[in-house]
Chain A
């Protein structure tokens, strides 16, 4: 369950950035090849947020699909797993996206008021 530690990092970073203001919404980008399960983060979020400026905030997780460029033939392909090979047979791929673990943005309560 490294997602618990990941979620604690999210709360800490967003909490610092909020500087004492209440957070209404947090947007994350999580790559499908990041090794982290979005559902598990969502599961931990409510509990870890309790008692912080993020309590009750909505967590929005955008999943980023894996994409890579083949080092041999230059083809750009979707990589659903870390085992995906290029249609030319090569497994030497330069990953373009899909390993993100990023906090994109947040919305504060006072913005809406």
Chain B
């Protein structure tokens, strides 16, 4: 019997730690955006880039199984983007992000948004080296999603509740959704917004600014 005592995801964890150190050394705020397909991750990024481009530099790593559509949307919004196709893979792994970063070359003091594959299951298990996971839930989905996919909502620090402009047209109970999210993660921070109309984006921007300034302070802490 040979003792191994190794984490199964040790290789990914080591590469994620390398990414994290790379980000820290450049005072970069890196976020891992996760959600179901169609919840509005790319729209949120487009609006954020358009509103904040004068103030902060945003770079995007786009993960999708196929197509370069999202990368093109991000570039049209005014941010450098690199598309990482995962093929049959259902999530991004740390080495794919590292490859994307080599191509993207994000500048010091910038924000790197990693848009994961639309999937609420496996991306929760794979650390990419991000500062935080941001889970996006839209009001056209069920308010019980945090209970159906507890690992993801537990792994996330922020829940963006998107498409609130559609609330008058759908049976979505906002307070129940927030309660469900806090059932699996009592400390989750919730931003309610519409990436389409811009309503509620100010709180999200405020959080981004604060976290980016913390990324700058961390180097000499």
Residue positions of A touching B, CB distance < 8 A: 1-2, 5-6, 9-10, 12-14, 17, 28, 35-36, 81-83, 91-92, 101-108, 111
Q: Tell which of B9, B121, B124 touches A9, judged by Cβ atoms closer than 8 Å.
A: B9
Contact A83 B147 (CB under 8 A): yes
B79 to chain A, nearest CB (A): 29
B142 at the A/B interface (Cβ < 8 Å)?
Answer: no
Chain B residues positioned under 8 Å from A36 (CB to CB) = 125
A106 to chain B, nearest CB (A): 5
A82's nearest neighbour on chain B, judged by CB, is B150
Chain A residues positioned under 8 Å from B2 (CB to CB) = 17, 105-108
A97 to chain B, nearest CB (A): 14
Residue positions of B touching A, CB distance < 8 A: 1-12, 89-91, 121-122, 124-125, 147, 150-151, 154, 182-184, 186-187
From DSSP, what is the main secondary structure of chain B's interface residues? mixed
Contact A102 B150 (CB under 8 A): no
Contact B122 A2 (CB under 8 A): yes
B117 to chain A, nearest CB (A): 11
Chain B residues positioned under 8 Å from A105 (CB to CB) = 1-5
Chain B residues positioned under 8 Å from A14 (CB to CB) = 4
The count of A-to-B residue pairs whose CB atoms sit within 8 angstroms is 72
Contact A82 B90 (CB under 8 A): no
Contact A2 B125 (CB under 8 A): yes
Q: A2-B91, A35-B151 are in contact. Are A17 and B121 (CB under 8 A)?
A: no
Contact B4 A104 (CB under 8 A): yes
Chain B residues positioned under 8 Å from A101 (CB to CB) = 7-9
B150 to chain A, nearest CB (A): 4
Which of A1, A9, A81, A106 has the most CB atoms of chain B within a 10 A radius of its CB? A9
B46 to chain A, nearest CB (A): 29
B180's nearest neighbour on chain A, judged by CB, is A83
Chain A residues positioned under 8 Å from B147 (CB to CB) = 83
Q: A91-B186, A105-B1, A107-B2 are in contact. Are A81 and B8 (CB under 8 A)?
A: no
Chain B residues positioned under 8 Å from A5 (CB to CB) = 89, 122
Chain B residues positioned under 8 Å from A91 (CB to CB) = 182-183, 186
A71's nearest neighbour on chain B, judged by CB, is B186
